[in-house]
Amino acid sequence: MPHTLHYRPVTTVLPSVEGKAVVLDAVLAARDARVARQQALLAQGGVLLSLTLVAPGAVKRSPLLDAIFTAALNALRPHISDARARLEAVDDGGHHALYLLDGDAHDWKKRVIALENRSPLARLWDIDIIGGDGTPVSRRDLGLPPRRCLICDDDAKSCARTRRHNIGELQADIARRYRLHQQAQAIAATMRDALITEATLTPKAGLVDAAHNGGHADMNLALFLKSADVIAPYLGDCAATGMTFAGTPASPALLAAIRPIGLAAEAAMRAATGGVNTHKGAIFAFGVVAAALGKRLAEAGRATLADVQADVRAICAGLLAELHQPGDDSAGKRGYARHGIGGARGEAASGYATVSSHALPAYRQALTADGNSRRALHLALVTLYAVNDDSTTLARVGLDGLRAHQHWARQLLADHATCADEARLSDAIAAYARDCASRRLSAGGSADLLALTAWCGQHFTPNPGTAL
C-alpha cells in the first residue's frame, strides 16, 4: 500500500457513570436479601449461578453499570436457556441475577471461567457457582489461581483488602473495559455490513448475488443475509477474546482461543441456513482479523493495517503445516497436496497479502478516481479473480479451469475503457457470470476476500484513527 493505513474506530458514547450514592446499610440489606433468595432457590435442589457486578465506590447503579449488567446477561443467555428458575433484578445494592441449573457444579464453574476469560468486560462480572450443599466452587477447587486485580496482576482480594488502588483508578479501568466492549461490538457490526455488501454486490461471476445464485443450487441471497446476521456476534466475541491477549506476543495461542468461537459460529450458521455453508471461510478470515485488531486496540487504542497483518501472520503461524496432517479429505488439503495452493490457510498465514497488495489498492484507486463504490468493488473483485488461487474454484473446475478464470480477469483488467465505465464493467461481469453458472464455477474464496477488502477499505484510512 502506498500509505500506512490506520484503523478508524467507530465513534461510541460511554454511558454516564453518574448515579445515586448508596449508604452502607442499604448495601448490606440488599446483600442479605440476595443471600435469602439464593437459599430459597437452592432448597429446590440443583446448582445455583449467582451474578453480581464489580462496582467499587458508593454508586451501585448508573447507566454504565446498567449497560455492563445487560452485556453480562446477554453473554450468559445461551448458557442458561434451560434454567429451572431465574431472577434478574436491580435494587439499592446494585445488579444481581440468580439461575437454578442442573448439572455438576464443577463443570459449571469451568464454563463460567471460560466465559470470563473471553472478554475484558467479563472481569467486571462476579459469577459464583454454588453447589447443592450451599458451598461455592472456587477457582482453587479447579487448581486455578485466584482472580487477578483489575489494575495489576496481584490477587484481586488482596488488592481490595489493602485498598491498593483508589476508587478513581478502578472506575477509570471499568470505563476503559466498557469502551473496549463497545469497540468489539462495533467490529462485529461493521464486519456484518461488509458481508452484506459483498453478498448484495451485483453482478458477480461464480457467486450468489441479487440477480442469480451463480453455480450454487442450494444458495440464495436471503440465506447469505440471514447468515451474516447470525454470525456477527461471534465475530465480536473473537475481537473481545483478542483483547484479553493484550500485552502478550501474538501467537497461535490466540487462534486456539478463538477456534471454539468459530466452531460455534459455524454451527449457528448451519442451523440458520438449513445446513448450507454460506460463510465458513468468512468466519475464519474475519475471526482472526477481529482477534488481531482487538488485541491491538486493547494494547494501544489504535492499530495500522500493517500491525493487524503482522499479528494475523503470527496468530496463524503453522496453519500450512495442518495441510500435511492426516484427517479430513477437504478440498483445501487436496488443492495443497496436488498443486501447492494454500487456500484459506495460506491467505491467513500471509496476513491476507492478496487483499493488501492487490484488491485493496484496486478498490482505493477506483474509489479515489470517481467515488463510485460499486465500480470500486467490482474492480476489486475482478482483481481477486485475476490473482487469487481460489481453492473453491480449483475444486469445481480443476487447475485448467482456475487458470482460464484468472486469464479472463486479467484480460478484462487490461481493457481500461471497460474498467473505467461501471455500466460496461457490469455487463462484462454479467456475461461471464452466465458462463460460470453453466459450468458451476464457484469463486467462494474470492468472495471472502472481497468482503474483507470492503471492510478494510471502509475502516482503514491514511489518516491516523483516534485512540480509544
Q: What is the CA radius of gyration of the chain?
A: 25
Distance CA 314, CA 250 (A): 6
Q: What is the pLDDT of residues 399-432, one digit of tens each?
A: 999 999 999 999 999 999 999 999 999 999 999 9
Q: What is the pLDDT of residue 163?
A: 82
Q: Would you say 332 and 323 are in contact if contact means Cβ atoms under 8 Å apart?
A: yes
DSSP track, 30-78: HHHHHHHHHHHHHTT-SEEEEEEE---SSB---HHHHHHHHHHHHHHGG
Residue that has been written with the C-alpha cell 461481469 in this structure: 429
Q: Is the pLDDT of residue 2 over 60?
A: no
Which helix (H) or strand (E) segment holds residue 125: the answer is strand 125-130
Query: Which of 323, 347, 318 lies closest to 333, judged by CA?
Result: 323
Which helix (H) or strand (E) segment holds residue 269: the answer is helix 252-273
Burial class from Cβ neighbours inside 10 Å (0-12, 13-18, 19+) for residue 467 reads exposed
Cis peptide before 63 (omega within 30 of 0): no
H-type helices in 371-415, by residue range?
373-387, 391-414
Q: What is the pLDDT of residue 149?
A: 83
- 101 three-class SS: strand
Distance CA 29, CA 18 (A): 22
Residue type, 171: Q
Q: What is the pLDDT of residue 1?
A: 45
Q: What is the pLDDT of residue 328?
A: 64
β-pair type (6-7, 460-461)? antiparallel
Q: Is the pLDDT of residue 380 over 90?
A: yes
Q: Is the pLDDT of residue 389 over 50?
A: yes
Q: What is the pLDDT of residues 190-213, one digit of tens each?
A: 999 999 999 999 999 999 999 998
Distance CA 157, CA 179 (A): 25
- For residue 66, give Cα distances in angstroms to 15, 32, 153, 399, 453: 9, 21, 27, 56, 36
Average pLDDT over residues 227-234: 97
Q: Is the pLDDT of residue 146 over 90?
A: no
CA 348, chain centre distance (Å): 15
Q: Is the pLDDT of residue 32 over 60?
A: yes
Q: Is the pLDDT of residue 164 over 80?
A: yes
- 181 three-class SS: helix
Q: Would you say 115 and 75 are in contact if contact means Cβ atoms under 8 Å apart?
A: yes
Strand segments, DSSP code E, in 182-340 are none
Q: Would you say 93 and 30 are in contact if contact means Cβ atoms under 8 Å apart?
A: yes
Q: Is the pLDDT of residue 93 over 90?
A: no
Cell, residue 77: 443467555
Strand partners, 460: 7
Q: Where are the domains of the chain?
A: 24-165, 187-461
Q: Is the pLDDT of residue 42 over 70?
A: yes
CA dihedral 368→372→378→379, nearest 10 degrees, is -20
Distance CA 56, CA 14 (A): 18
Query: Which of 44, 156, 46 lies closest to 107, judged by CA?
Result: 46
Predicted confidence band of residue 161 (pLDDT cuts 50, 70, 90) = confident
CB atoms within 10 A of CB 123: 19
Higher pLDDT, 93 or 224: 224
Q: What is the pLDDT of residue 321?
A: 80
Q: What is the pLDDT of residues 308-351, one digit of tens each?
A: 999 999 999 988 887 767 666 666 677 777 887 888 899 999 99
Q: Would you say 355 and 346 are in contact if contact means Cβ atoms under 8 Å apart?
A: no
